[in-house]
Amino acid sequence: MAARPNLVLFMPDELRADALAGYGNPVTRTPHFDRLAAEGVRFDQCHVQFPVCGASRCSMLTGWPAHVRGHRSLYYFLRPDEPNLFRDLRRAGYDVYWFGKNDALAAASFADSVTEWRDRSPPLSAATLAEFASGGQTPGSTTMLFSASGDRRAGGDYANLQAAIRFLERRERDRPFCIFLALSQPHPPYRAPDGFHDLYDPDELPPLVPPGLSGKPPFHAALRGACNLSAVDERTLRRVRAVYLGQACYSDWLLGELIDALERTGHAATTALVATSDHGDYAGDYGLIEKWPAGQEDCLTRVPLVARLPGGAAGHVVAEMVELFDLMPTFLELAGGVASHTHFARTLVRQLNGAPGDTGRAAFTEGGYNPYEPQAFEPLLMGGVYEPKTRLQNEQPATVARCASIRTQTHRLVVRPGGGSELYDCAADPGLTENLIEDPSSAGVRDALRERLLGWYVMTSGVPAPDKDARGLPPFLRTPSFGAAAAVAGYLD
Residue 429: what pLDDT?
98
User: Against a cut of 0.75, is the pTM above it?
Assistant: yes
Could you tell me the CA-to-CA distances from 146 to 136, 382, 454 in Å, in that order?
5, 19, 43
* 419-467 pLDDT, tens digit each: 999 999 999 999 999 999 999 999 999 999 999 999 999 999 989 988 8
Confidence tier at 481 by pLDDT (50, 70, 90): confident
- Strands (E) located in 330-393: 363-367
3-class secondary-structure state, position 69? coil
CA-closest candidate to residue 47, choices 26, 17, 76, 72: 17
- Evaluate the omega torsion of the peptide bond into residue 189 and state whether it is cis, within 30 degrees of 0: yes
What gap in Å lies between CA 461 and CA 366, rounded to an integer?
13
**Top-tier CATH class for 6-405:** alpha beta
What gap in Å lies between CA 103 and CA 187, rounded to an integer?
13
Confidence tier at 107 by pLDDT (50, 70, 90): very high
Percent of the chain past pLDDT 70, that is, above it, reads: 97
Per-domain residue ranges of the chain? 6-405
What gap in Å lies between CA 19 and CA 28, rounded to an integer?
7
**Is it the case that residue 493 has pLDDT exceeding 90?**
no
Q: What is the pLDDT averaged over residues 207-214?
A: 97
Which amino acid makes up residue 58? C
* 384-400 pLDDT, tens digit each: 899 999 999 999 999 99
Which amino acid makes up residue 375? Q
What gap in Å lies between CA 170 and CA 113, rounded to an integer?
22
Residue 1: what pLDDT?
55
What gap in Å lies between CA 370 and CA 397, rounded to an integer?
7
Element (H, E) at 271: strand 271-276
Residue 466: what pLDDT?
86
Helices (H) and strands (E) counted in the chain, each on its own, are 12, 12
**Is it the case that residue 221 has pLDDT exceeding 70?**
yes
